[in-house]
Structure 1
Amino acid sequence: MKLLKHLALAALLMAAPATMQAASKPGTFTTGDKTFLLNGKPFIVKAAEVHYPRIPRPYWEHRIQMCKALGMNTVCIYVFWNIHEQQEGQFDFTGNNDVAEFCRIAQKNGMYVIVRPGPYVCAEWEMGGLPWWLLKKKDIKLRERDPYFMERVKIFEEKVGEQLKPLTIQNGGPIIMIQVENEYGSYGEDKPYVSEIRDCLRGIYGKELSLFQCDWSSNFEKNGLDDLTWTMNFGTGANIDQQFRRLGELRPNAPKMCSEFWSGWFDKWGARHETRPAKDMVEGMDEMLSKGISFSLYMTHGGTSFGHWAGANSPGFAPDVTSYDYDAPINEYGHATPKFWELRKMMAKYNDGKKLPAVPKAPMPIITIPKFELKTFAELLLAPGKEDRGALKTFEEMDMGWGMMLYSTTLPDIPTQSVLTAEMHDFAQVFINGEYIGKVDRVKNEKSLTLPPVKKGQKLLILVEGMGRINFGRAIKDFKGIVGDVTISAEVDNNEVTWKPREWWQCATDDSYETAVNTLRLTANSNINKATEYTKRGYYRGYFNLKKVGDTFLNFETWGKGQVWVNGHAMGRIWSIGPQQTLYVPGCWLKKGKNEIIVLDVVGPKEAVVWGQDKPELNKLQLEKSNKHNNIGDKPDLNSATPVATGTFKAGNGWQTINFGKTAKGRYLAIECLSTQKNGDRAAIAELYLQGQDGKRLSREPWKTKYANSEEENGNHLGDKVFDLQESTYWQTEKGASAPHLLVIDLGSEQSVKALEYLPRAEQGAPGSVKNYKIYLY
């Protein structure tokens, strides 16, 4: 018996480290003179940003260990409100949502934790982390002191606090700091709102826990609260001294921290895969560490926006792909990249003379899967859903967060061609009596479609698929479905006639695995080859067998557009336009023997086949035409036009404002770059704003690039980068293109303008800065 007791005790002690470490002694984390203080001693935060919902739970510890092997001492996490409260009042902190367990695993591995609980987080995540059901209250004001919004925010933050308050450093846990809101200066100026979020968090976690707020160097003063730590966000290649200059003037004794040092960038459908040089990233982090500046590397490991969780950027509508690889040092599937090894070599210099931890082995091998066919099919149009008759409704009004809506109405007699116009969010396909007419794609800013002549009684059917809600800027209030009226206009007997159908049948079908399975069970057939243009849209199911499990990358190049489930796990969105053509499938979600795959294709595949390959395809575009804006027919003739401003920009970083002297009017802005500050440079502009008659910035929501005589497409340095709300991205001309360079922007409607604001690139020396210019408004 004694031997058995000794063996049991030994087993308990071997299993105890995580528990014993989680019960560490209470500590402190505060701000001191130009430094953070951990338990009273100077401490430089070397944080790795990772997002637990973007990583399968069985891989959490491996990813944390990979971060530690880079020399990091902290992990930084967002808490996504909408994944924890997918329906109002129903909270989930289990499984992949167990944020407390993620923090405990971090502590077990000797890592501290910074928590960013929003309520808004951005992160290229559906609606920036805000729950869709907030939009059921149509007049709600998001990220403001709207009573209902604040009521729900406080309930959510209290629920998060129940999970995380026991894990603060004051309670012996790993959490050293909590963030208040997120980059609010890019949304507005409302210190009372930010103060209310601060007070909410302070009431939950106590006054001892450090609170901070992050913003850009150009806007952090708008909402900076006196009693919070201020941190800056900027990216690879930025002029670091310039980024902290104003903070140093206002708070010369405060510690400096880059709370988001962007290692790469996110990808959007229809554009090239984004990358950033490893050399620039490593040099920037080396510079910060040499100056005692703390940082969080966003992202150190990006992971995957599984299911429908990828968001969309704005102005306009630019949905993000499923992969959140981010060109990070640890790639989407947890492997070390060349960036990783360069960064690890540099970080070793700042590890107090100690050897960095060994790089852990991947938890799963990479496997391939031979090509197989998905042989079972069920029509999308037969999928069960919630039905309604009457006026048009959005997803939210039909109590649906994600999925598709079918809208149908009876047409009058229209003997000639007509034009259908509507605000459709986000991808609409139009049919008349079962015949496909065309699509309306919000990504392309399309709002209308030509219809053929129709006879009275014919049926108009519109299938609308919602993609990720916008996650950045004022456009986050992003309703899905048909938003507003549908109008049909035609010229009949020399008169313009307009119809606005009022009576609609509509059916909301969510994008859940359960709906996919039910549709296949109720309506499935195996006669895929006889599917018509009308019926090929739907659910496809197939199976593949494995002798061993491992991570793989399922290829969907032959498919159209939709979503995928493997063994019931929502893998993410697919779209033939690319650049992403594969989906990462973690081996921990596969099994030996038979595995199920279901594909929802709202367009229909060229061939219903899939195969698993040993590497991802993240940079293969299959577009109808180039993304460039160099159609010569769109180039304006400015020879006889009078510029509203001519002159020379100053050299160096930072915003500059050009006043026109008098108000100018026009729909199109043309900026002619006659020369650059450094001869031989390619011209580049990071951001442009226009000021109205009242001196305030005009909305850039309706802006789109009309013409550019030169754009670097491979690096995603297209014209739209000058109004994408991101100071670290930029329009840049192609290598070897000769000046002058012309960029023309359609403002959406005629505007009254009195000044232009210009921002060059953020890197040291502002490469590509424009010198001599002419500005036109016409």
Structure 2
Amino acid sequence: MLVQIFSTSSIFLLALLIQVSNGVAVVDATTDAQQQQSSNRTFKIDYANDRFLLDGKEFRYMSGSLHYSRVHHGYWEDRLVKMQAAGLDAVATYVQWSAHEVEPGVYNFKGQNDLVQFIKLAQKHKLYVILRAGPYACAEWDYGGFPGWLLSDNETMVVRTMDKKYMAAVKRWLAVLLSLVKPYLYHNGGPILMVQVENEYGSYFACDHVYMKTLADIFAGHLGNETVLFTTDGNGQGYLKCGTTPRAYATVDFGVTDDVKQAFAPMREFNKQGPLVNSELYTGWLDFWGKPHNYGSTKALISTLDQCVTLKASVNMYMFEGGTTFGFMNGALIPYSSMITSYDYDAPLSEAGDVTDKFMAYKPNLPPVPGNTSKKAYGSVQMYRLGSVVELLDVLTPSNRMVQSLGPLNMEQLRHYYGFTLYRHTFKKGYPPSFLNISGVRDRGHVMLDQQPIGVVDRAIQTSLILSAEAGQTLDIIVENMGRINYGSAINDNRKGIVSSVNLGADVLTNWKIYPIMLENLFNDLTTSASVEKGTGGSENLAEFRQKRRQLIDHHLSFQSQQQLDERQDEQLDEQLDEQLDERQDEQLDERQDEQLDERQDERQNEQEHKERYLKLLEAMKQEQNEIPLKYRQHLLQQLQRQEPQQPQPPQLQQQQHEQLLNEPTIYSGIFRIPADSKDLQDTFINMCSWKWGVVYINGNNLGRYRPTLGPQTTLYVPKYFLNNSTNHIVVLEMDGHSKGSVGGAKLDLIEKPQLDSTCF
């Protein structure tokens, strides 16, 4: 007899239904040591019966997404416990390549990047792991998860294709990552059930089936053929046609809908047999600066989940907790618009890991849920001016990092991948008022003449200003990388800083000094170390061959009669061997020439293929440059419908904003103390309403960007693990000038609650 226990009043009870209805067995993610060592642990796809099999028994999963890179590692266990208490079977997570391979061949898997520890904690709390291993992630993360150094020396590289330089880096990275996680696959005793290859590749212009097949072969080569690989694409035939590969099971993603069966139809048409899987059922949505905060309908989410369960589908809720995009790692879209620091996503668990109304609506049907972490308003902090960026340049840029160049270099050429860069030019002659054109600014630049602010250029608004200058004056342009594009063909146009020439009137300005702004230099505790193993190789040279020839002579002589050969016979033998050597060298030369000819032909073919890829890329970028990607379009339209028309600003307010903008980028510092005898440190939020545009550090930890005049986010989340039971140092880089306070400083307020749907004026 079937037991029907789901209803629209319980989102998380659906996980229990998956385990007990229709005769499906409950199988814990953690087992005793003996079972973990058993070779009988299996996870397979039963195509004939449209289901997964876990240890031979029918299995479906209810999963939630949690990005370990967006939640402080001190809180991983807290969040996983809450997910398990919600009745989930699994946690899905992306691996962000850029977080782990910080430079080519230099890896970081410690602390916040300790992927193995995250996997072990999931298993400890009876959660399976669905590993979304990339190499591309998207995830509204800078460059879609690709490391910035990919852009350093590869001007025409096309990512997510068979581009040779790209694939060389991918193969090296995957060899490290997949070897690391292999021991934690389910059949090896770990919790990893499935591993995703690439992500939403069907939405990418390239549609390179060779690339997808090569990736799947690499995954299988490292993980073994018994590992279940899968792909995720939008629920359309066009997406599935380009995004799938035979070696990986094709799954789809879609948001809340009135007709789940219809939403799954493209997947079922593509996969005639096999389990239904929605790898991303959206619980809410992401936010952009200057747009309203997104909310997801709880009622619609529950209805969609109910329908998924009725169809016996497995589901991953994206997101279950969104977390925070700390530092400079937010993504962006074309037409250029960057994502906010908070990745709250209106998920069941908030940015700070709190149980929300969306979660609590189903609490009566759940076991006791762990309590929320405590929050505290630590009060106001007086901030004092340390100095402008220009005044502090000797601290922010070590002398060995300043670069002189005929023209501007982009940040990737400087090996400075995130944050800010100062470009300096000294005029050799005077100029009457002329247009200063900085069309290559990526993404926003503060222009100053002899440290006096002139204005701001922004790639999305305006890239030129009127400027007059005298000989000997200094032009400074402080450029902010506001986040790399993470989606679409434009991920191939992601270099930052100033990426083309700077013109004043008809002249191209040359002879630049370029200063990478290294804000971490303000703190003494941000040090890293890494080592790279390097291999060596060698080949047989001519001297070695001649030594072998001498051995040949000795060998030949050993078979001669004991009668002594006369000198002529020995010379003749030498001559014969020399002739053989010359012939062999000629043969080797001919072979090498043939090899070189083949290599040249391969190079020409690769060049032609690369040219075709690049032309296809340029065409795709041209088509997409003014078009919001389909994946994001519906949600942005919903935002616009909710957004009230903006009223023209009074002239007085416009003038005030202009005056506030004309401030040189300046660094402020403040301290607050938490008594050493305090029992517990607590999370807090920094209210940025007294400030305009910039970034905040606390005790050396980059909290992320703030833009409270744009909204919707006006606070920054501070996990308790960033705080000290003593003196706490706050540093703010304010680009546009704070709105309150005097020359002596301004204030920050540390409050108990976030503000994610407001602006400050």
> TM-score range, shorter-chain basis?
0.7 to 0.9
- Aligned mates of 1:243, 1:604 — CA distance in 2: 49
Deviations 1:90-144 (A, max 9, x none): 1011111111111111111111111011000000111111000000122222111
Quote the residue 2:334 is aligned against: 315
CA distance in structure 1 between the aligned counterparts of 2:195 and 2:410, rounded to whole angstroms: 36
Task: Report the equivalent of 2:43.
Answer: 29
> How has the CA–CA distance of structure 1 residues 238 and 133 changed in structure 2, closer, same or farther, with 3 Å as cutoff?
farther
Paired residues of 1:22 and 1:107 also in contact (CA < 8 A): no
Point out the more displaced range, 539-548 or 199-208: 539-548
The 1-side partners of 2:724 and 2:436 are apart by 51
Measure how far apart 1:174 and its partner are.
Answer: 0.4
Bigger proportion of residues as helix: 2
Letter in 2 for 1:199: D
Aligned residues: 574
TM-score between both structures, scaled by the size of structure 1: 0.71
AA of the residue aligned to 1:590: L
The residue that corresponds to 1:172 in the other structure is 189
How far has the Cα of 1:445 moved from its partner?
A: 3.7
**8 Å Cα contact 2:407/2:501 also seen in 1:** no
**How many angstroms does 1:596 deviate by?**
1.6
1:514 and 2:521 are equivalent in the alignment: yes
Q: Contact conserved, 1:18 with 1:104, CA < 8 A, in 2?
A: no
Deviation at 1:20, TM superposition (A): 4.6
Residue 597 in 1 paired to residue 730 in 2?
A: yes
What's the secondary structure of 1:103's corresponding residue? helix
Query: How many angstroms apart in 1 are the aligned matches of 2:35 and 2:426?
Result: 65
Q: Using the TM superposition, give the Cα deviation of residue 535 of structure 1 relative to its aligned residue in structure 2, in angstroms.
A: 7.1
After the TM superposition, which residues 47-62 of structure 1 pair with which residues of structure 2 at under 5 Å, given as runs? 47-62=63-78
Partners in 2 of 1:541 and 1:205 — Cα distance?
49
Farther-moved stretch of structure 1 (532-541 vs 421-430): 532-541
Contact 2:714 2:760 (C-alpha < 8 Å) held by counterparts: no
Change (3 A) 1:19 1:450: farther
Deviations 1:152-209 (A, max 9, x none): 1122112112321110011011001000100001113011001111111111110001
Indicate which of 398, 402, 409 corresponds to 1:387. 402
Change (3 A) 1:532 1:62: closer
More deviation, 381-390/499-508: 381-390
Q: CA deviation at 1:435?
A: 2.1
Of 488, 502, 506, 2:510 maps to 502
- Residue 140 of structure 2 aligns to a residue in which SS? coil
Counting aligned pairs with the same residue, the percent is 34
Q: 2:438, 2:457 within 8 Å by CA — same for their partners in 1? A: no
What is residue 211 of structure 2 aligned with on the other side?
193
The counterpart of 2:223, out of the listed 188, 196, 205, is 205
1:408 maps to 2:416: no
Q: CA deviation at 1:551?
A: 0.9
1:61-76 matches, cutoff 5 A: 61-76=77-92
Query: 1:400 aligns to what SS in structure 2?
Result: coil
1:247-646 matched pairs, under 5 angstroms: 247-312=267-332, 314-342=333-361, 356-362=366-372, 364-375=373-384, 377-381=386-390, 382-383=392-393, 384-385=396-397, 386-389=401-404, 390-411=406-427, 412-442=429-459, 444-451=460-467, 453-477=468-492, 478-489=494-505, 498-511=506-519, 513-515=520-522, 537-547=665-675, 548=678, 549-576=681-708, 577-607=710-740, 608-622=746-760
CA RMSD of aligned residues (A): 2.3
Give yes or no for contact 2:231–2:243 (8 Å, CA) kept in 1: no
Q: 1:460/1:238 Cα in 2 relative to 1: closer, same or farther (>3 Å)?
A: farther
Of residues 432-441 and 276-285 in structure 1, the stretch that sits farther from structure 2 once superposed is 432-441
CA distance 1:475–1:510, shift in 2 (3 Å): farther
Structure 2 residue identity aligned to 1:612: L
- 1:278 alignment partner AA: T
- C-alpha distance in 2 between matches for 1:252 and 1:517: 59
8 A Cα contact 1:563 1:571, kept in partner = yes
Does the C-alpha gap of structure 1 residues 509 and 518 become closer, same or farther in structure 2, counting only changes over 3 Å? farther
Q: Is the 1:83–1:97 Cα contact (8 Å) retained in structure 2?
A: yes
Q: Given the superposition, is the C-alpha separation of residues 499 and 343 from structure 1 closer, same or farther in structure 2, using an over 3 Å criterion?
A: farther
Q: Partner of 1:136 in structure 2?
A: 152
1:492 is aligned to none
CA distance in 2, matches of 1:371, 1:107: 42
Question: What's the CA shift for 1:517?
Answer: 6.0
- The AA in structure 1 aligned to 2:748 is V
**C-alpha distance in structure 2 between counterparts of 1:236 and 1:343, whole Å:** 18
List runs of 5+ in structure 2 lacking aligned partners: 1-29, 527-658, 741-745
Unaligned runs of 5+ in 1: 1-16, 349-355, 490-497, 520-530, 624-778
Q: For 2:440 and 2:176, how far apart are their aligned partners in 1?
A: 37
CA contact (8 A) 2:334 2:485 kept: no
Amino acid at match of 2:88: M
Q: Decide whether the 8 Å contact of 1:21 with 1:107 is kept in 2.
A: no
Flag the 1:533–1:573 CA change in 2: closer, same or farther, 3 A: closer
**Secondary structure at the counterpart of residue 268 of structure 1:** coil
TM-score, length of structure 2 as denominator length: 0.72
Once the two structures are TM-superposed, the CA of residue 462 in structure 1 deviates from its matched residue by 1.2
Kept after mapping to 2: 8 A contact 1:316/1:445: no
Shift of 1:63: 0.4
Instruction: Give the structure 2 partner of residue 243 of structure 1.
Output: 263
1: CA distance between counterparts of 2:145 and 2:176?
15
Deviations 1:497-539 (A, max 9, x none): x11112222211134x2346699xxxxxxxxxxx998875232
Higher RCO, 1 or 2 (CA under 8 Å, sep at least 6)? Answer: 2
Q: What is the Cα deviation at residue 410 of structure 1?
A: 3.3
Summarize the Cα distance change of 1:566–1:238 in structure 2 as closer, same or farther, 3 Å threshold.
Answer: farther
Q: Structure 1 residues 581-590 or 18-27, which shifts more?
A: 18-27
Mapped partners of 1:20, 1:361: distance in 2 = 31
For 1:112 and 1:401, locate their aligned partners in 2 and report how far apart those are by CA, in whole Å: 35
CA contact 1:185–1:215 (8 Å) conserved in 2: yes
Structure 2 letter corresponding to 1:387: M
Q: Which has the higher strand share?
A: 1
Is contact 1:282-1:342 (8 Å) kept?
Answer: no
How far apart are the structure 2 equivalents of 1:622 and 1:483? Answer: 33
Deviations 1:544-578 (A, max 9, x none): 12244211111111122222221222211112322
Matched AA of 1:597: I
Q: Helix, strand or coil: the match of 1:298?
A: strand
Once residues 217 and 525 of structure 2 are traced to their aligned partners in structure 1, the CA distance between those partners, rounded to angstroms, is: 47
| AA of the residue aligned to 1:190 | D
Greater alpha carbon shift after TM alignment, 567-576 vs 93-102: 567-576
**Residue of structure 2 in register with 1:225 after alignment:** 245
Q: The residue matched to 1:299 in structure 2 has which SS?
A: strand
SS at structure 1 position matched to 2:235: coil
The 8 Å contact of residues 444 and 456 in structure 2, kept in 1 or not, is answered as yes
Conserved? CA contact 2:660–2:739, under 8 Å: no
In structure 2, C-alpha distance between the alignment counterparts of 1:584 and 1:19, rounded to whole Å: 39
- Partner residue in 2 for 1:88: 104
